[in-house]
Chains A and B, each alone.
Chain A
Amino acid sequence: MRVSQLGLEDIKSLFPGGVDLFVCSVSFENRCRSIAESLDLTNVRHALIAENENHIDLHGNNAAILARLFDNRARQVFLDTTDPLKTADGLETALQDYADLGCRKIVVDITTFTHEGFLIVFNLLRRHFDPSEVSYFYAGAREYSVGAKDSEKWLSKGIGEIRSVLGYSGRFLPSRKLHLITLVGFEHERVNELIRRYEPSVISLGYGESAEPGAEYHHPPNRIGYSRVKAVYANAREFSFYCYDPERTKQIIQAQVQEVPRTNVIVAAFNTKLSTMGVALAALEDDSIQLCYAQALTYNYSAYSRAGDKAYLIEEG
């Protein structure tokens, strides 16, 4: 798996052979348009625009803007953060249709999918298309929780329902203890709540590698969040992972699983989408791993992020 960082302005010249299908998700963040607006739209044959129907009120004009970019090549699919079956069925039907149409080159903007939505669409894409023909983009943010001090940054708060992600149910045995692996980001309070709810026998806390390019800016608030989790769960194991390198994160997760054998493993990803991709890869290779999604109760809608001018491109093969 190759990860490269590039300027948004460089995206236009990629994919000279054209893009059969572009997939993206509408959001309250304007970053949801960054990749689409950077593509050579004349080269895109179909566009699948996903939108969480239960959050439509928060999305402003973003859905309309995206639809206008692609005109009659766009198809809308409604997801629902409270109904994973609806999310999965909508995406499955649409992707099956595009597969039947013979689409091969797929480009996906994963930036503003929810973590659950991303995990589901990632799984479905690998079922319907050749992974080597799918390119993923992630539009970086210049800043998260815009304007807040490092110690006060937040992206979402609270945990509503915690559920296993559809397609990543794991293979548990009732007689085994629970090993919870979490990739911690800003959202220490949600990590604490997640651990409280699960009461795992083993906790492995992952913190983002500070030396990773692109991570420097976000590292201080991550570090504060991490230390707050450790305060309450001092016995937790620790490891570092790569926020922007899915393949290496996958290997690290697999290593963590092997270090505590004969346990039921749940992985909760609270960091970047790229690290979540690494988690997904690990779970798809080892289907005994369960991935969970902790639905946020509220998002920092007004100041979630400030869009940057760079993006990550992830490709296999």
Chain B
Amino acid sequence: MRKASKRLPLEEWILAQPLKNFPGGGKYDYHSRLSSAVNYFVTKIHPYVETSVALRDGLFLTGHGVNHVSTVIRRAGELVGDYTANPNRLTPYEAFLLIMAAHSHDVGLLLGRKDHETNAHKVLTGLINLLGKDMVEVRAFLRIAQAHGGKINEDKDTISSLPPSDYISCEKVRLQYLAALLRLADELADDRERSGEELLEHGLLPPHSEVHHAYASRLHSVVIDHSERAILLNFDLAKSDAIRTFGKGTKKVLLLDEIFSRTMKMHQERMYCMRFLREAIRLDTIFVTIDVFLSPEKPGPPFQKISYKLEEKGYPDISAKSVHDLCPDLKWTGSALKQALRQSAKG
């Protein structure tokens, strides 16, 4: 559990900016606003999110509490890259709004997952005084949070419903840009820290959410490489992970197939978000590496190293629906791997 006092790099950066760089030109203390708001989220809101969802909907989601939010904010900072050197990447005020939006984006889960993005309003009603009564500002970060997933008016293109930018107290704020940052950061925040690994190991998770936790726990690193314009994902699979099935809703799936499916979604999200991020950030590729080990302790080289690259190439191929469509050289499927491992055991 993250302690309220431990600050993230992006937060540290904001606190290091002079107040005159924020709206009001020094009239408003955005440093203390940030600190008190974050503290409120960390101590009063986040701890109750998961429990509330489990009790209400019977779901056991991957981590949605303060650790997840920290990861999202960290990822957002990594996506932006060196924002200190390149002010076009993020202004101090935009960073402030991004952090507020990150804290707000899953808070609606307190009222249940269905339509959780838009429920953030209800939960934050009590926070409006603490965050400053400026409804223009509050609405701005809530709308950024709202666009992080789901649909708005039955349309999945939630970011386009925002204006590209608006002005708040004479500061230009790139609303679509921030929403895309948050959305992609959230997509990339499904890693080990989010998983209920212990519970999974002991089979204590509800069957319908097993695969989500398995996926998260096997994703051991997410790296944003700006020089290569790539996102690097590294998975470790033990044999036992690869040959068993995991519950997903009412079905059972193989983990490798789930990785393919989820990384494909990530590719889609990357393409979508890049539309709005391109002015300052370019990430064109997702490199996926999956190391499959025979032994759980993973000594020695992997049994199989499966890697592939997800990028837009050639003439846009809108018919591509799967990893195998985009990566025709990729021969592996969940069944094929299972087969290979079983045969290896016999041999």
| Chains A, B in direct contact (C-beta < 8 Å) | no
**Residues of A bordering B, CB below 8 Å:** none
